[in-house]
Structure 1
């Protein structure tokens, strides 16, 4: 499950959001391409900056299947409560894609290219 955040997207703010309601344990230092790793509710959380000017927060199931979607949705809802996030998207296998834009979280509509007609 991935959440992409644009606007005032930084790892410190993302960590504060993850710690807001539940314990979030940050593992010591970056690993591979990730800027930060941590665990919340048995879900592995990986954060890294993505171009242009965004933050990718990846949630991976640990102990219980489906838990990453719950944590990712809660993160999307909390991170978009401030005025500093311009846009955010939640995408992942088996999940309903969501998009935050203009102050609202909505279902992500399929691209027009997926509805092509024969010309």
Structure 2
């Protein structure tokens, strides 16, 4: 066999295998979950074990608010910041973090730290 014929046969077999895999899944959701173990295919996020998902959520990259963002929901005002060693200003607790914010616009001015470090 010539080398070009061998190449064409290999390319054809790879194309057929890829088509069979995609056509086996009924839609894109099933195609993404086709390589997942059965117990993880329906999880959210899919194909991520629960322990790994919790580790990702706890990382600093997952913080909901950054400097310049506006805090609109799920926050509590910290009424006496001096009591916790914070300087004069307006502070809110959102999730597990404390932020210094503009009181009128609720724009984040600074990330103070984790609640456990600040409010204890």
TM range, normalised to the smaller chain? under 0.3
Give the alignment's TM-score, normalised by structure 2.
0.26
Higher relative contact order (CA 8 A, sep 6+): 1
Higher fraction of strand: 1
Higher fraction of helix: 2
Give the alignment's TM-score, normalised by structure 1.
0.26
